[in-house]
Amino acid sequence: MKLFRGIATFLWSFFIGDTPELFVGALAVVSLGWIAHQWLGSSGSVYLLPAAAAAVMAWSLARARRR
């Protein structure tokens, strides 16, 4: 049980830590990329994907600045 808890804590701090917005944001970027690819094909989604990732970064930096 202790080992399981230790592994869970390690994985949490490794992937999420004090920036849960980046983890959620990355999932949102992937989902947006999938939807964009279905609707727009590659031509539009190749621009949308990095723009979405940059927007997530901007959101996280704005959050850090407010703290």
Taking residues 2 to 31 in sequence order and writing x for each that binds other proteins by CB under 8 A, - otherwise, the string is --------x---xx-x-x--xx-xxx-xx-
Q: How many CB atoms lie within 10 A of CB 29?
A: 19
Taking residues 48 to 67 in sequence order and writing x for each that binds other proteins by CB under 8 A, - otherwise, the string is -xx--xx-xxx-xx--xx--
Q: Which two tokens stand for residue 28?
A: 């949102």
Distance of CA 58 to the CA centre of its chain: 12
CA distances from 5 to 1, 39, 59 (A): 6, 42, 31
User: Which stretches of the chain bind other proteins, using CB under 8 A?
Assistant: 10, 14-15, 17, 19, 22-23, 25-27, 29-30, 33-34, 37, 42, 45-46, 49-50, 53-54, 56-58, 60-61, 64-65
